Amino acid sequence: MIFQNELAEMLRRRREKIKELARKMRERLTVQKVDRSKLFLPLSVAGIDGGYALFDELVLPIVAIRAVGVVMEMNPQSPRLRYFPGGYIMPELFIADGEDETSVRLISHAYRVMREVETALHIAERFEGISVLFLHGPLYPHFLKNTKLSEGFEASNKSLTELYSRVTELLVSLLSKADRKGFVVAGVVEDSRGRTYIESVLRDSENEAEEINDVVNIPFISDTELLDVVLEEGEYTTPVSYVQSKVIEAIGRVYPHLQPHVRRSGVFYLKATRNDSPLRVEIYPGSKNTNEAAMFVSKVICTTLFSPNYGMPAVLIEADRRARIPRNEANLFLYSTLGKNVITLRKRRKKRFL
């Protein structure tokens, strides 16, 4: 029981520290309240999500993947959902050509992101009048924040670097279309483990080092955990720059075509419902400014909640439901596609005799 008692005491002290820090942050943050009464209908919003399954028990690293787009037409007279490419999409198979487990997973992730952005671009081209296009996950893939690509093994992996280039090209096309058509692109992240938002808010403080240390000294704390205490239901934080200026400059050296879009992007947190933790929302404002985009996206999310216990917009819940690939479906699809050839792809397992 000694460990349990020590753990309970540690958690109690942690909660007290977080409450104290939350009181300080509430004074520093500019917090807005969502006005749900001013969302003008009819309105169309889109949600895109992707799913994948990695068959890592095979000799070849085979991946099943699919991406689905959902358009929610919020019209009081004739509301409906529309799907792209369709309500049910068969997964596609490909080989993640990586030299080790890490590169296989990076390639699989990059390929899934590429399919999601391709789907988002098709939605933006084929459906008129969309106001917000939601991505389930970050607006920009994580590799953009790795500003030392040229020094890492990722740069030596041809498959990966080609995928990264293709993803950034597609993103530029999507965000440029957002500029022309005037819609907002929003990446919605659940349970973000990052703490860049709080550090960004504190960076301009007179007591910068001391206040950032207050955050750092609480083990494993994240923006989500802290802002869950700071924000009340229906509140969101004023957006800040997506990344620091030095990171934007580094992105520009590797992906110059994407740099202007990253520079215009922002991030904020929204506590859409009392019973769920805040969402991290990364936005590209299109024809709006960042503050207007944050206000509008917050209204859309809070107005389209599926449940008071879950803060995600309904259109993304539906996209996730259609896109995910459960393991039993993945196995059935693999066997129906490859037949008896699957047996020859199984890794040899040594049997242990007791």
Give the tens place of pLDDT for each residue, 210-240: 656 666 677 778 899 999 999 999 999 999 9
Tell me how many domains the chain contains.
1
**Is the residue at 273 inside a domain?**
yes
Three-class SS state of 265: coil
At 260, which helix (H) or strand (E)? Answer: helix 259-264
Query: The whole model's pTM is what?
Result: 0.89
pLDDT of residue 150: 41
Three-class SS state of 61: coil
**Is the residue at 18 inside a domain?**
no
**Is the residue at 287 inside a domain?**
yes
How does DSSP assign 205-240, residue by residue? STTHHHHHHHHHTSTT--HHHHHHHHPPTTEEEPPE
Q: Please give the residue range of the domain that contains residue 205.
A: 24-345
**Is the residue at 2 inside a domain?**
no
- Rounded to the nearest integer, the mean pLDDT of the chain is 85
**Is the residue at 14 inside a domain?**
no
Give residue 129's region: left, alpha or beta (phi > 0; psi -120 to 50): left
**Is the residue at 19 inside a domain?**
no
**Is the residue at 189 inside a domain?**
yes
Three-class SS state of 62: strand
Determine the average pLDDT of the residues in 16-23: 85
Q: Is the dihedral of CA 191, 305, 284, 296 positive or negative?
A: negative
Give the HSE-up count for residue 132: Cα atoms under 13 Å, Cβ half-sphere: 30
**Is the residue at 7 inside a domain?**
no
pLDDT at 144 over 50: yes
pLDDT class of 72 with cuts at 50, 70, 90 = very high
Report the DSSP beta bridge partners of residue 288: none
Determine the average pLDDT of the residues in 154-170: 79
